[in-house]
Structure 1
């Protein structure tokens, strides 16, 4: 370590918080710099004045990074390929043989490298994901871990962790922005679907022994996986980023209700704040700040558009569970329903409506979500091919 160069740079550790961290570059400096120069996304990210940029502080020798995915409060994420498969594929290309690039997709992992000083936090996240992995239930819709790279001689710290990569995935935040940018309204059936699968994930965590509370249910911590569909026409929902998660033995602790409020805020944002979603394709937007008034005007939708009483009850329950939408701080004191109560109350209606999704709704989902996912998958595989050919 004494021969490594260190640099002190500002680290954004969340809203309004900045800390200073020491960075050390490891591995072969020439190869590292060549990789940075070839990585267009890194160059663009480094030039963005609104973000803090982190050089690669650690990379397992068994993995080869080829795409920068993103960064959060605790670390940076890369897509990597196991070095053995990378070298074999590269050698085949060098010898003029064809390589099934698409076939390498299943081998890709998402590697999370913590910011310096946060190795212990990553180890805690690894512990949560390991507890989830032990469960044989394949329908919990939670991120799963592949490998933990511990700090030598310190099992309480992790230098990196590899999880199953969801290539081409959008975040739920991407979906919300996609509809919001064009002033479009997400289909009711899509909201029911997210409600069902995300509540599956949360109930699985809350029923764990000991229970796990996620504590960070933000739109960008929910991935939309179009390449796995438990229900035809609907992408699977996957809960990720357990950096803030905690074990909780007290079922009456406010953290459970905080998860419930975050859950409702997510659904509220997907359906459009201050909007009531209509299943019709060209539906008008309804003001939903006054729920009594909304019920009165719900009959004045475009022809073929309707709101069921169950849907309006659901929207009202979401609104009741989040208190003041303008206040970004979650306050469990105002939460009326936990996740299990919401699931029990609306499960039957959610299942029925998702099952009855008309073709035009499935078309909207295909155009807004699946098309983007296929483009993203293509970009990732192109970057992998470029890395193999370089």
Structure 2
């Protein structure tokens, strides 16, 4: 028996615009996150790259396996068997959970990068471990959706969709708590502490963990001859004595501020502070984008599981706003992360003979 697939509604301007928008989101998600993963593979490893790769992998899975069926069920009327729908709904929940857990891992790495910037090797090992652990935890949250029955999710006058979203009340509150609300609370708390640490960072960086040393008071040598020029003895930071004649007839050598060790330390600390703020700004942008895109869905889902009062158009807009997050994340990487931007540019411009060559990043990009 042949199954006939019909369009959902008339093929008019609205249907065509919706189909085009869904196709653009899907294609952008696949191309953008694929390019980011290739760029991260080429770039020299940095601690933040492991959770970033986890986030890009989750978004790539969304584009490859979740969005095609999600678009088809909105545009066409058809039915799929239980196995396909179970895999689709499980991947949907798994990838969303992996995304926000990866953002939590990024927040932890940024916190360690600010409070312990010299322990880069240890941070890299722990960041890799946490990026790997994201996926088993996300799987535990997502697996029950394949086995817990869901009530019918359509209203009178609406045609049932293939692979409906699980609206079982118990599972909805379990999944939304561990997929969104608890991780989002942890993430917001982490970034609040990061911003507070950045606000007090210059004082810590200026002395590099050592207490400031009071400058020695200049000592004047005894005057042995009234006609001899007065000599002032200064002590250098290393304990050497510097005799500087104080005669109006002899020019005194003035040390430029840029040559002062204290100014060099200030310049170095300013550079480190700038890099830390730039790296943190990238993660804050990712977090803000995630919350803006997914909060409407995670408010709507529990409400609809309790009252079944959310219309199909609201489901469509809230769900696809969340999916759009997977397409926008690579733009944040490319716009705000120097290391990813350099590697991404090299991935797009390199010749086929040099594809396996690592991209050498600048010292400032490697430190972030």
TM-score, L = length of structure 1: 0.27
Give the number of the structure whose residues are more often helix, by fraction. 2
Q: Which has the larger radius of gyration?
A: 2
Higher strand share: 1
